[in-house]
A and B are shown apart, each in its own frame.
Chain A
């Protein structure tokens, strides 16, 4: 293995471009969510800053940067400062795993449209999403507030429960693709998307990622009506912004992963691969917003009941059925 300057420059350029694009997408996803929610409720949503409110994310960013950063009395200083980063960094790291286009060639070198293509990519995704729990847990615990603590305890239980169903729903994908590597999973769907073979696994994965993103109807860790804002009640300014941006990056990343695992990733006719990927990932983001505009919040016991007594057995049975199918039909 020998690296030279062009390789390093290409790698850094790729990282920089993807980072910028993801931040931009996250910022505009906030605007899209507000406008769409407005439309669902027969309002306009933000339309004052710039034409059609298109500069609103910039205004929001400036607002968050210049706002006062309050640390509550009695808060655990270092953990309080650490928690937002623990929430945002795993979300950004997950983005680096997603293949979002066919490999291109720059300067005579093949450049994969993916930051890292590990042979354990899928496991790394599960690992990062389980690390994201610490942002919620430490944030709520360190703020020294009742609401935050309740929110983070709820969040902990919810996130580790739904991580299990998420992992179990990905097992059939691995069985079909015979690999943990995301690029190979995408290649295995060249002929048929996995959603056709695994509709149940797809549904379970979809429900689990909504719960992982702590979105309505699974937003009990930050339930506004009862816990103010849950684990980030005490955060303000830039630190709140990190939680916020992390949430939206998470939506894009998990939507992109859902597209990668079940909807054939960047494969698609006519349009260029990157565009196909974006369409699929943003369709999931749209679905998330649409769900938020429609459904009420679940109660805590309903949430746990649904995860452990409905989703987990169904996911296990699905794995068993897939195993039998592969064994009997002898596919691959």
Chain B
């Protein structure tokens, strides 16, 4: 049951992501990407990580993509159909990164070999998750939040009203 669900969701995720890349129209691309995030969130839930699943929905689908959409609506992009197809040169960095990811994935799978993963996924309670996050990795969290604070200050500086 869960396996079948996983394969369905994985297919949906992959197809939606490919469509999001291939789609020329920005708003359609956003809708495909949101679909992909959604099925990814459900996959996380199936993998017994409900917290990650919820963050995927709240932060990526609910906040980041909405802001993308906001920007797309605010900027009149004209006729998107006229944008030319990307040439091979444009694709090169993306292809390079994709290649690195693919090679590392293959190495990982080969390296693991016949070694079996754990049969039953351990369900980590939210309390344990939070304790680990803020206890063991507390410094990292602090650094990231400081970075966000800097970003907010920077945004305020850029967006402040300049008096003539």
Contact = CB atoms under 8 A, between A and B. Distances in A.
A contacting B, Cβ–Cβ less than 8 Å: yes
Interface string A128-165: 00110110011001000000010011001101100100
B51 interface: yes
A153 B74 contact: yes
Contact of B62 (A119, A163, A180): A163
The binding surface of chain A is classed by DSSP as helix
B134 interface: no
A137 B26 CA distance: 14
B73 A131 contact: no
Nearest to B65: A134
Contacts of A141: 27, 69, 73
A156 B68 CA distance: 11
Contact of A127 (B57, B73, B74): B57
Contact of B54 (A82, A120, A157, A159): A120
B34 A127 contact: no
Interface string B48-59: 001101110110
Given A134-B34, A138-B31, A180-B126, A153 B73 contact: yes
B57 A137 contact: no
A118 interface: yes
B66 A79 contact: no
Nearest to B70: A156
A149 B53 CA distance: 31
B73 A126 contact: no
Contacts of B28: 79
Contacts, number: 72
Given A141-B73, A149-B73, A156-B73, A127 B66 contact: no
A316 to B, nearest CB: 12
A126 B53 CA distance: 12
Contacts of A149: 73
B61 interface: yes
B146 interface: no
Interface of B: 27-28, 31, 34, 50-51, 53-55, 57-58, 61-63, 66-67, 69-70, 73-74, 125-126
Given A120-B53, A127-B62, A159-B66, 5 more contacts: A79-B28, A119-B50, A126-B58, A133-B62, A134-B66
Interface of A: 76, 79, 82, 118-120, 123-124, 126-127, 130-131, 133-134, 137-138, 141, 149, 152-153, 156-157, 159-160, 163, 180
Closest 7 CB pairs of A and B: A130-B62, A127-B57, A123-B54, A120-B50, A127-B58, A120-B54, A156-B70
28 contacts: A79-B27, A79-B28, A118-B50, A119-B125, A119-B126, A120-B50, A120-B126, A123-B50, A123-B54, A123-B55, A123-B58, A124-B54, A126-B54, A126-B58, A126-B62, A127-B61, A131-B57, A131-B62, A134-B66, A134-B69, A138-B31, A141-B27, A141-B73, A153-B73, A156-B66, A156-B70, A160-B70, A163-B63
